[in-house]
Structures are given as structure tokens and as C-alpha cells.
Structure 1
């Protein structure tokens, strides 16, 4: 609807009544607007957004949630949503996809939260199979962090974190290379030491 008719937006809505819990409202909106099952998701509160003027129609304070889960189905529009689809976060952040309100900022905050979670938790293993190679785990980090990682350096860092991944036995053939060892997720949920993201190159380095 106006003033952002035709723009894309994150699914959301108002509380049904004064007695509805905010988390319950977030779960309800996921079902109503995108037909996503909240029980399949890890939902955590991301932040509160209440800058004056963020909604030209009046003063609105929004509580945003970050939803994380592997293998999600395609969303299906419902209730007041004209359509629903997955959109690349990079396209939103680059301005290639026009979004309503201050939703680009919310997406940016959500991406940064996800990147930090990969630094400090074992979340990345949830996006691998029951058994996986170090290379497959590295691909998850590269996709979320948006960087290219040196395989030997990544392997060394992963092996330093006790309980992060464990040998699963066996090997998997790789294209044009030696068979790779298989691992499975270990018991450790919080990584110590954390897997710190590499610093992005400076402008001077990028010009070289």
C-alpha cells in the first residue's frame, strides 16, 4: 500500500491485541504472510527500530526478528501480502532491490548478526549434511561472510576449536583431487577460540 506501493518489504504487521506476545506476533506473521512454519526456524530478536519518520503514516516502533534455518521451502503469500519470495541479501544491500521503510537497514543488521554468529557459534554445521568435508564447511562460511578463505588457514583454525567438528570416518571423493576426510558436528555450541572473519581489504589494497 502507499506510500510504498509496489516495493518489497520484510513480512510483518501489528500486534493483534494488547495481550499478544511480540514473539507470538512474529511467528503469526511468518505463517500468515509467507506460509512458513515457525517451528522449523530458530527465531531470535534482532533489534528495535523506532526512528521518527521511518513510517510516513505515523509513529511506528518495530521489533525485528532474525530467522535462521537450512533448507527452507519457498514462501507463499497470504493475507495482506501481494507476493512472497526469497531475495538475495546482497541485492537488497546494494540497492538493486527497492525495499520499503527502513527495511534495508534491518536486513543489514540481520546479515551482520548472522555473520557474527558464525564467528562465535557452531551454527555453520547446521547448513552441512550429517557428514561433511572441511571444504563444504568452508563454503558455508564464505557464503555468509562474503569472502574467499584460504583453505589451509581455514582448516588450521577449525582444528584449533576443540569439540567444533569431529572425525566421522571415511572419505569423500572430490573432483580432480584427493579424497577428503569426513567430519560431523561436535558437541560444542560456542566456539573458543572464535573463528574471526578476515578483515576486508583497504581501499589502497584494493587499488593494487
Structure 2
């Protein structure tokens, strides 16, 4: 009988010690160490996904806002590549798209060319042509890539003229925006719907 009493006493002491321990879900434990128990999800509840709103200009992958006269956003390096390849920007754009084109220059692109110094005076003279439309930027800073991405996300009427690989990759993630670039001494276009009569690369 003595042994049984001892074992019971030991068991009671162990239980008392366990009760004194703080539970892993207790508020007094630091947030990193605390165990947060979540209620199991009800499989019958509807799952709500936050999907970004698709532009009304897109009909499947066909951009209804693209059409002649084309609005082309020109990037800094596109102007420089055109000068290196001795290409007339507006004439070659029209030859590429078989339609009237209006090149647009943002304040950021102009600021980037001004920052590049005396080497790029010719590029500045070219974009100062009255046939180039000027777009005024309302944001701070002069980082042209972000400016172009914001503009084409908001308005689907533009074609982006660039030779910058990183910018091209960023544009490819936005549906319905074609890319114009300089390749083998002429302009080429990528992601242009065949419905317009221009075959994409």
C-alpha cells in the first residue's frame, strides 16, 4: 500500500507542476514564440480572390484602343540606338507600322537625356522637334522606366519604343502593350495583334 501512495503523490506533484507552466497560447509569451491557433476553415464557405481589374480596352488579348494614328512613347535608349543606326525616327516608325505615328516624349526621358551631358546634344535636338509631343510628368524624380510603366498601365493607347531589356520584360507583363525596338538597322515591333496588318516578332 505504501508504494501506491508514493506513486500517487508523485503523479499529483507532476500534475501540479504541469499546471503551473504557461500555455503556449498565453498572451504573456513573446509574439514570435507564441502559438496562435487558427479555427479550421469551413469548406462550404465561398473563397474570395482579390483579382486586379482588367482594362476595358482589352478584348481577350486584343487591345481595342490601338489604332492609327499610333501613339508611341519613346524611351531614352531608343533615341540613342536610332542615332547610332542613322535612322529617322518618325519616318521609320511609319514604315514599320504602315500608318501615321505620333511620338511622345515624357519629361523624365528629356531629363535623362539632359543628365547624360554634351555627348547626347543631338538626341536632345531630335526630341525637340515640334512633331514630338511632350507629356508632362506630375510625379517626383526622373526615373523614366517607372514613369513609362505607370503611364501604360493607366492608358492602353500607347506603343512603347525601347531597346532596354529590363523595361521590355516589365512591359511584357502588362497585357495589350506592343513594344517597338531597333533591330538590324530598322524598327521592328513585338506583340502587335495581327488584326492591324502588322505581324509581331
TM-score scaled to structure 1, two decimals? 0.19
TM-score scaled to structure 2, two decimals? 0.20
Query: Higher relative contact order at CA 8 Å, sep ≥6: structure 1 or structure 2?
Result: 2
Q: Please identify the structure whose Cα radius of gyration is greater.
A: 2
Kindly indicate which of the two structures has a greater share of residues assigned to helix: 2
